[in-house]
Structure 1
Amino acid sequence: MTGASTGIGAASARELARRGFHVLAGVRRDQDADALRAPGIEPVILDITRPGHIAGLAARVGSRAGALRALVNNAAVSVNAPVEALPLEEWRRLFEVNLFGHVAVTQALLPALLRHSGRVVNVSSVGGKVAMATFGPYAGTKFALEAVSDALRRELAPQGVQVVVVEPGGIRTEMGERGIAATSRLAEAMAPELRDRYGPLVQAVIALTAAGTAGGTSAEDAARVIAKAVTAGKPRTRYTVGRDAALLTRLSRILPDRLLDRVAAAVLRPHYPKTTPA
């Protein structure tokens, strides 16, 4: 598991350990490792953007006598910003963590998965199906992860390795709170003309995200879906987490783009600052 420090990752590590797995749980800091360490959970310091860390993980997997049953790619960073307003270095940082890092880990561990007919579980997002305003950078990484997952599933099915995507909606985790804080910092740093153009929209998105996080699915419920994706004998290609994710992914399949645009605008409208007309 590539991101188990907090939230869904930590809950999933505990759920899989409870089900009898030995979980190599990727964390970024020693204090996170100490907090997570438990029977069945072996924390591993892992930054998926660092090749040396990935090589160390592959070596640790190779040193174990047991089979590698599954790779859960769930590490991610989140930030919302208008396409025009997010600096390119921030775009690149998001893609390095949310996409390229997972590709690198998958490439490193596929030999072990192929030997034992293991499974790849990629944790995407409802944002991998629907990109709300200001979600372009984050959703872009998740749309890309969905495409990579589709290709990988078709490439590996003849080899006996299954690829499953999990698409959470709003989840009550620290990641959501960190994403809100990062979005707020970026909004404050925007040039005055960009703040005039997008300020009310960003404030509305922050309010909507905060409401969705507070009322979202628990990390433990999300962990049970991930565990199902790992253990199901005949898994679906995709699992959603939460009613909001199930509804939005369904709407994205059946509504024309313009109608979906109006639905998205209506959802956002009540969250605009009261002094600013939406």
Structure 2
Amino acid sequence: MTTSAETQSCVVVTGASTGLGAASARELARRGFHVLAGVRRDQDADAIRAPGVEPVILDVTKPEHIADLAARIAEWPGALRALVNNAAISVTAPFETLPLDEWRRTFEVNLFGQIAVTQALLPALLRHSGRVVNISSIGGKVALATCGPYSGTKFALEAVSDALRREVAPLGMHVVVVEPGAVRTAIGGRAIAETDRLAAAMSPEQQERYGPLLQATNANTAANMANGRSADQAAQVIAKAVTAGKPRTRYTIGWDAALFTRLARLLPDRLLDRITAARISGS
């Protein structure tokens, strides 16, 4: 792939401050792309900046940030090859206990933010026969107890991706979904801290009802982060989704994602309930 400014292809990666997004930005730059890496803070920009990686301040819930990104794409002399929608937050809490504003915040970041960025960049992607790569999750196929907020956004992202793929396929554009299982990134630690914060705000009755479940959930998250794939390994799959000549509509990352996406299709709900409960409890 040539790397002259006149012809070099550009890829946008949102949520590139750390973890999977940062690893994907580095891997795509290594493969010869110019990567616009969306970060939320100046210190994150300093950390990710490297040859082929240009940090851009991007909070996907802020229209002005998205407008600035679209303007940067408009002035780029090469093609926009792909948009990797990776920005997300993990919110884990029992359905009853999570304030509605927290539900809305999760959807704003994990779903509406992705839609807003995609809408802004879609004209450029269509001009260059680019593609959208949406980072979903195993949680977009199977919703574990306490994962309603996060899984709700990922189930919705899966549906939105299907609809968009069917709309733009006749126009020569691909839409790909990547479904990671456990990956060793900072999001796990942040999820545990967020769960603890939300648990502290529960009423005594709610803590009695759900306290043991949340403890088991946090233990399961910690175990997954310890045993999951590295971010660099996961980034290889995302890079494949960006570069494959004929990409699949979906890629899984890790044995757990591959297994549970199949179980979700094959098993009755009650049996899947028992399996997911055992997964959280570790039994």
- TM-score band by shorter chain is over 0.9
Q: State how far apart, in whole Å, the 1-side matches of 2:246 and 2:264 are.
A: 25
Match of 1:189 in 2: 201
**Alignment partner of 1:202 is 2:219:** no
Structure 1: gaps (5+ residues): 272-278
Q: How high is the TM-score relative to the length of structure 1? A: 0.96
Equivalent runs, 1:1-278 vs 2, <5 Å: 1-270=13-282
Q: How high is the TM-score relative to the length of structure 2? A: 0.95
Alignment RMSD: 0.8
1:97-153 C-alpha deviation (Å, 9 max, x unpaired): 000000000000000001010000000000000000000000000000000000000
Instruction: Check whether the contact 2:182–2:227 (CA below 8 A) recurs between aligned residues.
Output: yes
Q: State how far apart, in whole Å, the 2-side matches of 1:150 and 1:69 are.
A: 20
1:26-73 C-alpha deviation (Å, 9 max, x unpaired): 001111111111110000000010000000000000001100000000
- Secondary structure of 1:38 counterpart: coil
Percent of aligned pairs with the same amino acid: 76
- Secondary structure of 2:111 counterpart: helix
1:269 Cα deviation from its structure 2 partner: 2.6
Match of 2:3 in 1: none
- Secondary structure of 1:183 counterpart: helix
Instruction: Check whether the contact 2:220–2:281 (CA below 8 A) recurs between aligned residues.
Output: no
1:146-203 C-alpha deviation (Å, 9 max, x unpaired): 0000000000000111000000011100111101110011112111111111110111
Which residue identity does 1:260 align to in structure 2? L
Which residue identity does 2:51 align to in structure 1? P
Instruction: Check whether the contact 2:133–2:177 (CA below 8 A) recurs between aligned residues.
Output: yes
- Secondary structure of 2:282 counterpart: helix
Q: State how far apart, in whole Å, the 1-side matches of 2:93 and 2:202 are.
A: 10
Q: State how far apart, in whole Å, the 2-side matches of 1:110 and 1:206 are.
A: 38
Which residue identity does 1:88 align to in structure 2? L
Q: State how far apart, in whole Å, the 2-side matches of 1:74 and 1:268 are.
A: 25
1:243 Cα deviation from its structure 2 partner: 0.7
Which residue identity does 2:60 align to in structure 1? I
1:270 Cα deviation from its structure 2 partner: 3.4
Q: State how far apart, in whole Å, the 2-side matches of 1:269 and 1:38 are.
A: 42
Equivalenced residues, count: 271
1:2 Cα deviation from its structure 2 partner: 1.0
Which residue identity does 1:242 align to in structure 2? G
Q: State how far apart, in whole Å, the 2-side matches of 1:131 and 1:63 are.
A: 41
